[in-house]
Amino acid sequence: MPRDITAYSNPLVKRMRTLRDKRHRKAEGLFLAEGLRILTEAREAGHLPRYCFFAGDSEQHPLVQALIGPVEAGGGEAIRTTPDILSKLSGKDNPGAVVGVYDELPTALDRLDRTTAPLWLVAERLRDPGNLGTILRTADAVGAGGLILIDECVDPFSVEAVRASMGALFTVPLARAAWSDFLPWLRSGPGQLVGLSLDTDSDYRAPDYPPPTFLLTGNEAQGMPDSFAAECDVLVKIPMHGKADSLNAAVATAVMAYTVLDRQAG
């Protein structure tokens, strides 16, 4: 049976609000996700929140009902609250009907099995949570084996990144690693590393992309370091026909991902 919390001063509300800060997320091992679509995607992927906060006036919504039962049956807690408290938790003026608090997902590199998919996405020092979320959605859309985040990327468990992923955070295997750990792991088995670069004349449609292909996208502002580019088996460039010198990192990743799949299928 859900319990009611309507006071901002409630200790659980105060504690969960701190999860908007990376330091507290790391200390608690928890993160926030907001919105019926995202929580439903998570439930369908087998992930249930430890706490599920929902607005009282949405309790009879079928998707809210579909969350409450499994959460409580799984040992979590369903909490009936107010839109104002949901706003405080999510940081949005117009919050969704639900906010979930989840255990952080495992991100160890050695969990990944490269034989499960012909394409893997790799992102280096991403700074924008919107780009990270969009790349996760691309990974889901193309059936990539997972997304590997290299070095100091934006936190994938931030409220902004989770929101931008539209649920893909729960459906796409995620790993985080230092470059110095990723490279030996990559070279320990099959797989070619394909880098997106402006410093090459090789058109992105020219190479073959035998599976598994690991597609590396560099930092939004600086691209990838020369030392990383030197380790790539193939460097490719998406030509620019206008005045812009490059595409947004997430857009370029999507263009490349579908190109790789097309070449692998052909």
Domain residue limits, the chain: 3-103, 109-265
Rounded Cα gap, residues 40 and 131, in angstroms: 22
pTM of the model: 0.94
Please determine whether the domains at 3-103 and 109-265 fall in the same fold group of CATH: no
Rounded Cα gap, residues 43 and 40, in angstroms: 5
Q: Please check the confidence at residue 178 and state whether its pLDDT lies above 80.
A: yes
* DSSP label at residue 222: T
Q: What percent of the chain has pLDDT over 70?
A: 98
Scored b (16 or more CB within 10 A) or e, 176-208 reads: bbebeebeebbeeeebbbbbbbeeeeeebeebe
Q: What is the pLDDT of residue 246?
A: 66
Report residue 244: phi and psi, to 5°: -70, 145
**Which has more confidence, 141 or 93?**
141
Across all residues in the chain, what is the average pLDDT? 94
Band of pLDDT at residue 48, cut at 50, 70 and 90: very high
Q: Please check the confidence at residue 44 and state whether its pLDDT lies above 80.
A: yes
Beta bridge partners, 193, equal 214
Sign for the CA dihedral angle at 260, 262, 264, 266 comes to: negative
Band of pLDDT at residue 196, cut at 50, 70 and 90: very high
Closest by CA position to 138, among listed 127, 158, 123, 116: 123
CATH class of the domain at 3-103: alpha beta
Residue 65: which residues within 8 A CB-CB, separation 6 or more?
59
Q: Locate 59 and state its tokens.
A: 């309790």
If one looks up domain 109-265 in CATH, what number appears? Answer: 3.40.1280.10
Q: What is the pLDDT of residue 245?
A: 64
Closest by CA position to 100, among listed 171, 163, 43, 52: 52
Q: What is the pLDDT of residue 162?
A: 96
Amino acid at 133: G
Closest by CA position to 178, among listed 124, 242, 99: 124
